[in-house]
Amino acid sequence: MADKISARGWGGFFLVARVMLYLALPLDALHGYGDFVTFFSVAQIPGWPFLNYWVEFPPVFPFLSELLFRLSGGQQHIFTYLLLLVLTLADAGNLFFFERLARKFWSGTELIYRLAFYLVLLIALPYGWWYFDPLAVFFLLAGLTFLVEGKDWGGAGLLGAGALVKFIPLIGLAALWKGWRDRQILRVAIISVSVLSLGFLLLGVFSPDFTLASLRSQSSKGSWETVWALLDGNLTTGNFGPLVERLEPELAGRAVGNPAVVSPWVTLPLFLLAGVGLLARFQKPGSNPVAAVGLAGCLFFLWSPGWSVQWVLYLIPLFLLTLDWRNARLLTVTMVLVNLLEWPVLLSRGWFQLLPVTVIVRTLLLLLASTLFLAAMQTSLRHTEENPVLARL
Per domain, the residue ranges of the chain are 2-392
In the predicted model, what is the mean pLDDT of residues 188-200? 96
pLDDT digits (tens, 9 = 90+) for 304-340: 999 999 999 999 999 999 999 999 999 999 999 999 9
Three-class SS state of 271: helix
Q: For 114-152, b where at least 16 C-beta lie within 10 A, e where not — what string?
A: bbebbbebbbebbbbbbbbbbbbbbbbbbbbbbbbbeeb
Which has the minimum average pLDDT: 2-11, 180-189, 231-240, 294-303?
2-11
- Give the rounded distance of the alpha carbon of 265 from its chain centre: 21
Q: What pLDDT, on the 0 to 100 scale, is given for residue 385?
A: 45
DSSP characters for 228-243? Answer: HHHHHT--S-S----G
Q: What pLDDT, on the 0 to 100 scale, is given for residue 5?
A: 59
pLDDT at 181 over 70: no
Q: What pLDDT, on the 0 to 100 scale, is given for residue 136?
A: 98
287 pLDDT band, cuts 50/70/90, is confident
Q: Output the pTM of the full model.
A: 0.94
pLDDT at 30 over 60: yes
User: What whole-number distance in Å separates Cα of residue 92 and Cα of residue 12?
Assistant: 9
